[in-house]
Structure 1
């Protein structure tokens, strides 16, 4: 892409009329069709204003009527500090570009009215202030003629667009989609007793954690989650401890914290008596085998000889 830009620039420079200077800046003037501001050279090339003051003056002139141009607003917009911006505003005020006056509003309060004049010399000659809304026209207006300004150079022809050799690469977003939020636990049956107890537990949370102040709508929404805990025979004190222990400081969204804990900390159902009872022991049954010697039956895990045959074999 850098080679294409370099070739396009060389092509435009070759089409400029007249010989090019050996040094210094060369202007490539492409006419604007939207979003532009006419700035006089008396401001852009001011011999006594600093670059910061000239830049802030051009910026203020490009803003619509009613925009904030105080020190705080400009400091939030630019990287310069408050001292440099305040000094630049004083420069513009000293040379007549900026005027600040304290006026009393209809309600009796005092306010600072800021007026920016794009031609202080013309203002002094006319003796009046003309404030016009900054609405970009569809067709650029001609700037008022200033004798001391040189005529603008003729616009250069627009270069032909250079076709791209490769299609643009679309980069997927870095942030992956969040997983769907887990639903709030629901009881098998929300009885009036469960509803009353769950509502009391939720409303009483602020007595144990001052930050957990829930609205009536939040309590009504979270009642099924607490009822699901109560249905699983969780003591109200244990529910209160699970919802109020180790809270972030300060918790920004109390209802979301309570909902999250009711969902992710839900304990399992208590096992029944049958599940807790030990398994019944079965009697040990040794299978019957036929003796290989006398063919009598005897109990043994493996086939072979009975005890009598084994004793006779041992005595012999």
Structure 2
């Protein structure tokens, strides 16, 4: 009874530790070195961090907004002052989040009567645009429909939806161009001269390449300058001088503003000249036979008439 079983292991053998630097599927890949957070953290779902349609800027901006405390500023001006991206890129990212339900902006009237905009951040939105009437943020994630085991997922019949920034730009109507001065004379030759001037602006600055619609809108404004005795070179100088260094998003709107804001006054009033003096036919004087001009009753020149007077 005191004999021990030499074939039994002295203690349970533990499995060899896996090499953290080697992946089972391939030699590369990401390795997570995680530390549990106990304070100052926010939970972000993979549906946002790995969203297949959102841009990287929109995903990062949503993570930042979800980490802000209630009441913190999340408007374009505040976010532009916080990050290096400009207001155009931040506004586009906010529109992406609105399209996919991660963000919505509501207008409320305060007790003083002032209208303010409140930004609502949803950490678990519903499928965007599936239920337009419901704009709230659910407390639980929307359950996905189950499918029988062993059946492959059904492939979509239609192509993938377009990028959200393209969808937003297509649904928003284009803002109309500012009004331009109208000329008093709409002669075809004057409008053609104004059109030719606008089509040559791109030679001075390639950013001033105008479409046919924008040119037709701006031509009356240029004609209003030309009919005020402004030379075409002066009009071209007023439209192309001191342009901003940044890219021109709407060059036609900038030209329309300049045509209106810098419109010169009309030329000074010039009274119309009287009728030209009458021009009589040349005749010969009866006294000295010199040629002179005078009305019909006169038959002598001025000198002969003066000498004949007593």
Q: TM-score, normalization: structure 2?
A: 0.35
Specify the structure having the higher radius of gyration (Cα).
1
Q: TM-score, normalization: structure 1?
A: 0.35
